[in-house]
Structure 1
């Protein structure tokens, strides 16, 4: 099953049939909000707004571990994230779509792993992640391909099908938030090789990978980053840009859901092999 996590400006996914709205508790607390489960052309999908249905959860307080665990409990094997980002790469313009292929973590205090060794909770479940946690294992997960190559390749095909121009790769730098970055910080982040900056991409991608989920991120440049923009940044312009792209993004998501192959051929499901100490 596919799970979609909506970012700023994407709080609903219309057109689903046989809809169920589920309140789920996890060993890591409650997720950002109710998870909507429904079918599109016979294919089941879960939708969760990252910041809550009313956008009342700031990026540094999003319950990332609860979100991914709740999706896991519902049987989600693939996660597609939609994010608004600031553009750092001078070739990226507001409204551009990017398929992220790597990340840089610049956050400060977020819980970023399920595997805390002897301090891991004794969770239920018979899959490998649950067993490793119950056994108190230390796990080091490879991040050479943090974003699922199969999902990225298929997303590119869907974007082409819809005639949506996009950048096939980009490095995402994740900052703590909720404030925007300073021009000096953006200059530093640019020197590290990042193309875009956001506040929610990490640890979401890592947690999904730890649960052997495929993960891909479709990002929309909402504005140029601080110092590049040349003007004061506001949340209003982020939401305005996402509103302009909302219909297009939802159309892409619908096609992606309907045509995504059931079989996973990427190897993400095997990422825990050899990862435990």
Structure 2
């Protein structure tokens, strides 16, 4: 199947997993053009994508979207991310929004708060996840400041279930288990604000393909040892009750997003200085 061209992408996560995006949102400015698109990539068949059309004052835009970061049974998460971002690169995607649920490490955060992180700490084992070896990726502004500012502005206008924080450090762990109290305390001491499992490797794969990337993350529980123990029912209630509001916020942001670049994301992807190593092979 030929990959369609689309300037925008939405990577769905756990905050919208309980609904069909965008069909369940009831938005008259959104139209699904094609469903269940699976593409052949160098990393195996991709997850299913939808091609969506959005109409707004900025004009008519097309975007690609997939569910739950492309994760699915039998496919390693790192491979799923490579599949997703290879497709986005071929589609010419230049701006990416992602979402997910996170645990609060910072004591100031409560469930249903929104955090739009400005930086991350990657403690996962999914290292060296790339599409090829051509680039040196500078992570000085890890998440696009321009895209993040706009997302924060829309969230403060539309989000009613909790507060909105326009800064935060996202600690990325492997999962699928949650973290121990000792691990959470370590991340708290290390300046982490929230814990999740999806921002990496997405944030540096986005840089590799030359795309701006920002994320919107809903606090769904206190991390272990923070404030009070969470319950499974509370977690389920948040996921099921807030998913429509998260989805509508994301699509309103995609509809109204200014197209002009006000960042240096693309300039932070440099040619590798190790060309001879990767072209001729390296023995040690």
Distance 1:83 1:104 in 2: 16
SS of the residue corresponding to residue 20 of structure 1 reads strand
Judged with a 3 Å threshold, the aligned counterparts in structure 2 of structure 1 residues 114 and 58 are, in CA distance, closer, same or farther, namely: closer
Match of 2:152 among 147, 150, 156: 156
1:34 aligns with one of 48, 61, 66: 48
Which of 211, 214, 228 is matched with 1:213 structurally? 211
Q: What CA distance in whole angstroms lies between the structure 1 residues aligned with 2:15 and 2:158?
A: 21
1:70 maps to 2:87: yes
Give the alignment of 1:156-235 within 5 angstroms.
156-162=152-158, 164=160, 165-231=163-229, 234=232
Cross-structure match for 1:44: 62
Query: Structure 2 CA distance, aligned partners of 1:152 and 1:40?
Result: 20
Match of 2:8 among 2, 17, 25: 2
C-alpha spacing 1:17/1:276, structure 2 compared with 1 (3 Å): farther
Hey, what's the Cα distance between the residues in 2 that align with 1:68 and 1:167?
A: 27
Partner of 1:19: 33
- Number of residue pairs the alignment of both structures matches: 253
Q: How big is each residue's C-alpha offset from its partner over 1:1-29, in whole Å with a ceiling of 9 and x where there is no partner?
A: 11001111414222432511221111122
- CA spacing shift, 1:261–1:96, aligned 2, 3 Å: same
Q: In the superposition, relative to structure 1, how do residues 17 and 231 fare at CA in structure 2: closer, same or farther (>3 Å)?
A: same
RMSD: 2.3
1-structure distance, mates of 2:230, 2:248 = 32
1:46 Cα deviation (Å)?
Answer: 1.3
| Contact 1:88 1:197 survives alignment (8 Å) | yes
TM-score (norm 2): 0.81
For structure 2, the 5+ residue unaligned runs are: 1-6, 275-284
Determine the C-alpha separation between the residues in 1 that align with 2:75 and 2:103: 17
Q: Is the 8 A contact 2:16 2:244 kept in 1?
A: no
Secondary structure, counterpart of 1:240 in structure 2 = helix
Instruction: Compute the displacement of 1:270 (Å).
Output: 2.3
- How big is each residue's C-alpha offset from its partner over 1:159-211, in whole Å with a ceiling of 9 and x where there is no partner? 22225430010000011111110000000111111000011111111111111
SS at match of 2:136: coil
Aligned partner of 1:249 among 243, 246, 251 = 246
Which consecutive aligned stretches of 4+ in structure 1 deviate over 6 angstroms post-superposition? none
Distance in 2 of aligned mates of 1:166 and 1:56: 33
Which segment is superposed worse, 245-254 or 185-194? Answer: 245-254
After superposition, residues 87-126 of structure 1 pair within 5 angstroms as 87-116=104-133
Q: Is the 8 A contact 2:168 2:194 kept in 1?
A: yes
Q: Which runs of 5+ in 1 are unaligned?
A: 117-131, 133-138
Aligned to 1:129: none
Query: Aligned pair in 2 of structure 1 residues 26, 62: CA closer, same or farther (>3 Å)?
Result: closer
TM-score under structure 1 length normalisation: 0.83
| Shift, 1:247, TM fit | 1.9
CA distance in 2, matches of 1:72, 1:52: 15
